[in-house]
Amino acid sequence: MTGQEKKSYPDSRSFWQDRRVCVTGGAGFLGSFVIEKLAQHGAKEIFVPHIEDYDLVKLEDIQRMLNDARPDVIIHLAALAGGIGANRARPADFFYINLMMGVQLMHEAWKFGVQKFLAVGTICAYPKFTPLPFKEENLWDGYPEETNAPYGLAKKMLLVQGQAYRAQYGYNVIYPLPVNLYGPRDNFDLQTSHVIPALIRKCMQARQRGDSQIVLWGDGSPTREFLYVEDAAEGLLLATERYDGPEPFNLGSGQEISIKDLALLIARLTGFEGQIVWDTSKPNGQPRRALDTSRAEQFFGFRAGVSLEEGLRRTIDWYISKAPGNG
């Protein structure tokens, strides 16, 4: 696929309507939007394995799930994920659980005859110091940022596995690298949440309590890129429909912002007027993150549609609607 000519794509419904789809992690944050988008795209048979019924770290549960779901397509979203604090507290869990889920599931899916396997990667797989914007060819240029390296490397092995299975068996595995996601239904638990829901909750609670300040980790200098969760779900489905190649591809918005500017923006949108104090004894994480998203547009015509400020407004509105009493 050269991507130089203007492509025309078949209607989504013709791809999905007769395929059985299994979405691991379908009950989670991103997964819930993928399920909704699948229905919109015409999928009729969607199987979501719940952790109470299938522990995807266990081989026998994976095999039982495949026999129950009999999928044509697997969208593997299930992961143990979290912010810097969670990654520092449980590095072994982040490595083992993510590696064992993905590696065994892909192998058993190939054995079972599943036609297509989408293995969702992570931006944490990139080296700590990657030239900006991140290009997929830089994935192997260095070691990931230390605080999330166990998670990033466990997920990165699915790229290696997918390319190996494609080379040896002709197995159709595709590997997206989504940037940090946010939106309604996100995890707002301050012990395990990512930066945007944590900032929203801290600002809302501080405003409601009348606090004069909030304390945030690091010095505010790192930059990040964020993708609204509905855009991410759409991107994953378009990739599944339209892309069949071995190369990994970034999914992002193309908009870089510093954590300091993000905090100021969320403070303004939530109405918090106090001081933001930076605790520089805490880690910053990776210095900069911004993606080259040209492959996704070239390979399957995806471009993010929701701006950061609009996405934040929607996320804050959802949070207020769900937690009016305690912020």
Active site residue 228: no
- Residue count of the chain, please give it: 327
- Token pair 């501080």: residue: 206
Residue at 136: amino acid letter: E
* Buried/exposed 276-299: b ≥16 CB within 10 Å, e otherwise: bebeeeeebbbebbbbbbbbbebb
Question: How many CA atoms lie less than 13 Å away from 96 in the CB half-sphere?
Answer: 6
Identify the bridge partners of residue 228 per DSSP, sorted by sequence position. 182
Say which of 54, 96, 143, 151 is annotated catalytic.
Answer: 151
Residue 232's SS3 state is: helix
* Residue 182 exposed, middle or buried by CB count within 10 Å (0-12, 13-18, 19+): buried
Cα distances (angstroms) measured from residue 309 to each of 124, 181, 305: 24, 14, 12
CA distance 294 to 138: 14
**Sign (positive or negative) of CA dihedral 293, 294, 300, 302:** positive
Six token digits for residue 191:
């012990």
CA distance 253 to 293: 7
Are 90 and 104 contacting, i.e. CB atoms less than 8 angstroms apart? no
Q: Cβ neighbours of residue 290 under 8 Å, at least 6 residues apart?
A: 132, 133, 134, 223, 225, 252, 254, 256
Residues catalogued as catalytic = 151
